Amino acid sequence: METFLIKTIQLLLSLSILVIFHEFGHFIFARMFKVRVEKFYLFFDPWFSLFKFKPKNSYTEYGIGWLPFGGYVKISGMIDESMDREQMSQPPKPWEFRSKPAWQRLLIMVAGVVFNFILAVFIYSMIIYTWGTSYIPFKNAYAGMEYCESAKNIGFQNGDIPLSADGVDLNYMSSETLQKIVDAKEVKVLRDNDTVTIEIPKNFMLRLIDKEELFALYRIPSVVFEASPNTGAARAGLQKGDHIESIDGEKASSLNEMHKILESKPNTSVSVVYSRGSEVKTTE
């Protein structure tokens, strides 16, 4: 029940922000063109309102209605959500919407949508500013990359770090980087402190597409984050920071390699070689 209440409040709050910003667009443009705004309401107020306030020497009444289905601004000389037709039977007044030029009336009407668009741009800009796009530069990927079979067939090896494609530096893995690699004649990679040149065939991209392969992934070292209580890893004495080197004699330097080995050995004991600092140990 508490969760439902919190979610309901969050929904109403988010809708309130959208409604207020939308109606503020109508309000500010109406005031710019000296059109009176009689009401500025969050939510609708048939029969009564939860709150209302009219500042001294102001034509506008501000309030909160009880029906949470939107909101409105009541603009003089305009039939809106208030459905007030009485004033329309009177001669137009200078401060009314209907007495203004067509271009001003148009701007007042579309201002709400324009302000919603501005709000959307602001929200997404803040999201990008706060979280943005994170990536790992190749120079920081000390474990290198893990390559698909098609890439291995033309000379790439797990652990290779891409350096350049036809002389153009490669910074991090992305669709643009892949495009540079498949379009290049040769790619240079760092392998065990040596620079190795790999020739790229013209149909390399077609091979990847045909086999539906992902060219490469960052190679994640198989380092223990936590040995959960009452598991084989905990009973074997593995601790946070231990680096798995091999399992039953098979190299398991990356997380992917380790998973593949363990998947092939369900419900069995395995011999694990791991390093802890400068020490190399073995455990079951």
Domains (range + CATH), the chain: 2-130 (no CATH), 138-218 (2.30.42), 232-283 (2.30.42.10)
pTM, two decimal places: 0.52
Average pLDDT over residues 13-28: 91
End-to-end Cα separation, the chain, in angstroms: 48
Summarised one tens digit per residue, pLDDT across range 161-207 is 999 999 999 999 988 999 999 999 999 999 988 999 999 999 999 99
Instruction: Tell me the pLDDT of the chain averaged across its residues.
Output: 88
The pLDDT confidence band at residue 81, using thresholds 50, 70 and 90, is low
> Minimal CA–CA distance to 154: which of 200, 190, 197?
200
Number of C-beta neighbours around residue 113 at 10 A: 12
Work out the percent of the chain whose per-residue pLDDT is above 90. Answer: 45
Does the pLDDT value for residue 33 go beyond 70? Answer: yes
Give burial (CB, 10 Å; 0-12/13-18/19+) of 65. Answer: buried
Q: Copy the structure tokens of residue 219.
A: 């190679």
Q: Higher-confidence residue: 85 or 153?
A: 153
Asked whether the predicted pLDDT for residue 222 surpasses 80, the reply is yes
